[in-house]
């Protein structure tokens, strides 16, 4: 039987025999029914539980009329901005408007509003007054407390307060929403639903939470006192484990926001059920004439095999959203999904990825987590690996090998990114060798981020010596099998803790390594990360000690330029940075210099006959020991467009 999309119009509801839906799911993304999209998963989970869900995708938000499309739902509205925060979707790190939206038909910009949760909820209130409104998704999850907002450059209130919604779900929402739906279905008013894990609600200041709790802070203090803000984040971070985490309060005048403890992560059998639901695995046909939805092409032939990440990088929001406890699907479940993919009409034989937040994690980092939870004040991998860390790639290797054996599968790639330190800590290098031999599509994405250990500590990353060991091993294996393959390093400029001198050291490291990165990333302060707290407060929330932050626009430009020091257009900024730091010895014509003097180099050199010849930038490919012209390597970089934004 052919899988069908959920209804997007009243007519389709009537054809299904519905008088009205139980839930109307409002989303800022185009409707894509694929298990890489949160709306698709939650709507299918609710459908499997017997609830009627209609999809209101990218409604006209300039009035409340479109929000009346299905009438008043029986149980309430579910509201999400989509797969990513609406402000991140709309603006670059330099706060310029983006020209392309991967989650809208044809990449068209402007089909969702800024701060979509607030706008959508207010339109629903205009239309239906006291109808239940439940927020979910990444934007809700990361803005559930008072949070520093980079675009307004101030501490905003919880999005639950500003949206006037009734309830907010954070983290992975399947079991949370099934519980909330069952209570609503029994006739319990939304305002009375205050004891569901993974939810946030607002009550009177004098009420007591239903769980053991820690007393948070007053918003009026949080918005002005940076030390208090840093302390509040540390409290929140240390209570994001479902085993020992407590409820947390936050005061807004006479009202109190309460975050209940996290919902436990889905176990293997539950994850298997979620991914076995009848997804159509495509965008809705209404987008065909508009060019489809670009975001699907990134994941259509990819498989998610795990959730959670114990890497806990400080600039990543996963610890605040999916959590640090890793869970994974069974091999049988992944094989069934792979078989479905092989039957898609446009499948060419290539599984693009079997990954997740971190591709090479399958289990919790140690046995004690199952009973005691993740350590509140210790990270599993950084700055050094915990003595209790279990490192084992054998099951992941077996999983990939089983998918490779399926009829119609020519190749399986790993593209979602690996944790290179976890890989190098494995004493059994058989997976490492197999991956380099069989599962790298010419290049492997890794995230060293920087080379200065002082900066890496603020990032929550291992020392650069660990990456160097991994890099050398990668090229050793690559050379031994006679292939020409590349590492694609993620590098970040202007992260808290990174000085201009540190950026110069990173440029020297890249030059010595023969690496010329095509893409670099300025640090982007987004809600829900420790690094954003550092950026706003100048305080490390885990130690409460001061941390240097580059906030000057010109310095940030210089730090970014130094990461691509050999580009002609960056020469002036590189020279300026070197002079500012007293490193003029790096300006000159010798091989040890980063940039030529301004009067001696204009991007051309004299040829033998006296004419001028353009000099192209090059990078060193350690796998074969040759210099490669950048333009040639651009053509070989087939995977560049699939790099995921942080």
pLDDT tens profile 200-250: 999 999 999 999 999 999 999 999 999 999 999 999 999 999 999 999 999
Question: How far apart are the C-alpha atoms of 278 and 612, rounded to whole Å?
Answer: 63
- Whether the pLDDT of residue 637 is over 60: the answer is no
Nearest to 530 by CA among 457, 422, 465, 466: 457
- Whether the pLDDT of residue 610 is over 90: the answer is no
Per-residue pLDDT at 319? 86
Per-residue pLDDT at 320? 87
Question: How far apart are the C-alpha atoms of 191 and 143, rounded to whole Å?
Answer: 20
Per-residue pLDDT at 250? 98
Question: How far apart are the C-alpha atoms of 57 and 39, rounded to whole Å?
Answer: 10
Of all residues in the chain, the percent with pLDDT exceeding 70 is 92
- Whether the pLDDT of residue 644 is over 60: the answer is no
Rounded to the nearest 10 degrees, what angle do helices 553-563 and 500-513 cross at?
A: 10
Per-residue pLDDT at 227? 98
Nearest to 206 by CA among 250, 173, 163, 255: 255
Give 448's DSSP letter. E
Per-residue pLDDT at 16? 96
Collapse the DSSP code of 189 into the 3-class scheme (helix H, G, I; strand E, B; otherwise coil) and give the result: coil
Quick one: pLDDT band at residue 612, thresholds 50, 70, 90? very low
Per-residue pLDDT at 370? 86
Question: How far apart are the C-alpha atoms of 323 and 172, rounded to whole Å?
Answer: 9
Residue 373, phi then psi, degrees to nearest 5: 80, 175
Quick one: pLDDT band at residue 643, thresholds 50, 70, 90? very low
Of residues 370 and 168, more confidence is placed in: 168
pTM over 0.85: yes
Quick one: pLDDT band at residue 441, thresholds 50, 70, 90? confident
**Cβ contact 44:17 at 8 Å:** no
Centre a 10 Å sphere on the Cβ of residue 488 and count the other Cβ atoms it contains.
20
Domains delineated in the chain: 10-202 (3.40.50.280), 301-441 (3.30.750.210), 449-646 (3.30.750.200)
- Whether the pLDDT of residue 360 is over 90: the answer is yes
- Whether the pLDDT of residue 1 is over 90: the answer is no
- Whether the pLDDT of residue 322 is over 80: the answer is yes
Segment holding 612, helix H or strand E: strand 612-614
Residue 134, phi then psi, degrees to nearest 5: -120, 120
Of residues 566 and 646, more confidence is placed in: 566
Quick one: pLDDT band at residue 417, thresholds 50, 70, 90? confident
> What integer best gives the mean pLDDT of the chain?
91
**Tokens coding 218:** 């007053």
pLDDT in tens, 509-547: 999 988 888 778 999 999 999 999 999 999 999 999 999
Quick one: pLDDT band at residue 646, thresholds 50, 70, 90? very low
Collapse the DSSP code of 406 into the 3-class scheme (helix H, G, I; strand E, B; otherwise coil) and give the result: coil
Instruction: Label the pairing between strands 167-169 and 612-614.
Output: unpaired
- Whether the pLDDT of residue 6 is over 70: the answer is yes
Nearest to 334 by CA among 399, 265, 413, 401: 399
**Tokens coding 54:** 């209609």
211: Cβ–Cβ under 8 A, 6 or more apart, which residues?
195, 246, 247, 260, 261
How far does CA 518 lie from the centroid of its chain? 21
pLDDT in tens, 325-351: 999 999 999 999 999 999 999 999 999
**Cβ contact 529:317 at 8 Å:** yes
Quick one: pLDDT band at residue 61, thresholds 50, 70, 90? very high
Per-residue pLDDT at 631? 38
DSSP 131-187: --EEE-SHHHHHTSS-EEETTTTEEEPPHHHHHT-SEEE-S--HHHHHHHHHHHHTT
Quick one: pLDDT band at residue 452, thresholds 50, 70, 90? very high
pLDDT in tens, 92-110: 999 999 999 999 999 999 9
Question: How far apart are the C-alpha atoms of 16 and 54, rounded to whole Å?
Answer: 11
- Whether the pLDDT of residue 73 is over 50: the answer is yes
**Cβ contact 49:147 at 8 Å:** no
Per-residue pLDDT at 509? 96
- Whether the pLDDT of residue 307 is over 70: the answer is yes
Nearest to 240 by CA among 315, 170, 326: 170
Quick one: pLDDT band at residue 635, thresholds 50, 70, 90? very low
Give 568's DSSP letter. G
Q: How much is the average pLDDT of 111-127?
A: 98
Quick one: pLDDT band at residue 608, thresholds 50, 70, 90? very low
- Whether the pLDDT of residue 505 is over 70: the answer is yes
- Considering only 185-199, 234-248, 352-366, 370-384, which range has the smallest mean pLDDT? 370-384
Of residues 644 and 9, more confidence is placed in: 9
């Amino acid at each position: 039987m052919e899988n069908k999309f959920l209804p997007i119009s009243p007519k389709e509801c009537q054809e299904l025999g519905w008088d009205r839906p139980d839930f109307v799911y409002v989303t800022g993304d185009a409707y894509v029914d694929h298990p890489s999209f949160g709306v698709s998963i939650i709507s299918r989970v609710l459908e499997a539980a017997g609830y009627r869900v209609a999809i209101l995708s990218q409604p006209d938000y300039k009035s409340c009329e479109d929000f009346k499309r299905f009438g008043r739902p029986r149980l309430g509205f579910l509201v999400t901005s989509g797969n990513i925060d609406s402000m991140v979707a709309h603006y670059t790190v330099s706060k310029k408007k983006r020209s392309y939206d991967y989650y809208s038909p044809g990449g068209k910009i402007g089909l969702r509003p800024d701060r979509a949760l607030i706008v959508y909820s207010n339109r629903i209130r205009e239309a239906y007054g006291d109808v239940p409104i439940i927020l979910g998704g990444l934007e809700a999850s990361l803005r559930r407390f008072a949070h520093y907002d980079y675009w307004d450059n101030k501490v905003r209130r919880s999005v639950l307060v500003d949206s006037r919604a009734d309830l907010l779900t954070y983290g992975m929402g399947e079991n949370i929403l099934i519980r909330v739906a069952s209570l609503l279905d029994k006739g319990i008013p939304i305002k009375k639903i205050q004891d569901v894990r993974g939810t946030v609600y607002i009550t009177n200041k004098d009420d007591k939470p239903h769980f053991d709790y820690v007393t948070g802070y007053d918003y009026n203090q949080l918005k002005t006192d940076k030390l208090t803000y840093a302390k509040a984040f540390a409290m929140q971070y240390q209570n994001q484990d479902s085993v020992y985490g407590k409820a947390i309060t936050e005061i807004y005048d006479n009202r109190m926001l309460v975050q209940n403890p996290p919902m436990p992560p889905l176990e293997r059998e539950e994850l298997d059920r979620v991914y076995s639901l009848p997804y159509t695995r495509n965008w809705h046909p209404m987008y065909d004439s508009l060019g489809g939805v670009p975001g699907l092409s990134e994941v259509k032939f990819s498989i998610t095999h795990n959730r959670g990440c114990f890497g806990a990088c400080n600039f990543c929001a996963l610890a605040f959203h999916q959590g640090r406890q890793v869970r994974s699907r069974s091999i049988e479940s992944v094989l069934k999904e792979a078989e479905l993919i092989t039957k898609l009409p446009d499948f060419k034989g290539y599984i693009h990825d079997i990954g997740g937040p971190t591709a090479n994690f399958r289990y919790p980092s140690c046995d004690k987590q199952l009973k005691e939870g993740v350590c509140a004040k210790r990270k599993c991998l950084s700055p050094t690996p915990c003595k209790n860390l279990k490192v084992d790639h054998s099951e992941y290797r077996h999983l990939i090998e089983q998918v490779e054996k399926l009829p119609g599968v020519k190749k399986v790639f790993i593209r979602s990114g690996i944790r290179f330190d976890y890989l190098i800590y494995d004493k059994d290098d058989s997976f490492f060798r197999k991956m380099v031999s069989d599962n790298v599509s010419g290049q492997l994405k890794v995230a060293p981020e920087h080379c200065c250990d002082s900066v890496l500590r603020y990032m929550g990353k291992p020392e650069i010596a660990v990456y160097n060991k991994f890099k050398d091993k990668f090229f050793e294996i690559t050379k031994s099998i006679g292939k020409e393959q590349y590492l694609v390093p993620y590098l970040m400029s202007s992260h808290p803790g990174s000085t201009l001198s540190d950026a110069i050291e990173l440029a020297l490291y890249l030059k010595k390594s023969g690496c010329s990165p095509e893409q670099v990333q300025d640090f982007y302060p987004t809600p829900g990360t420790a690094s954003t707290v550092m950026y706003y407060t100048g305080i490390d929330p885990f130690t409460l000690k001061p941390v240097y932050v580059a906030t000057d626009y010109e310095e940030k430009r210089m730090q970014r330029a130094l990461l691509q020091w050999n580009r002609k257009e960056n020469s002036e900024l590189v020279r300026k940075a070197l002079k500012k730091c007293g490193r003029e010895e790096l300006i000159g014509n010798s091989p040890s210099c980063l940039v030529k003097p301004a009067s001696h180099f204009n991007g051309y050199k004299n040829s033998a006959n006296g004419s001028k010849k353009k000099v192209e930038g090059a990078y060193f490919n350690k796998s074969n020991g040759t210099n490669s012209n950048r333009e040639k390597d651009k053509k070989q970089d087939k995977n560049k467009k699939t790099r995921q934004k942080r």
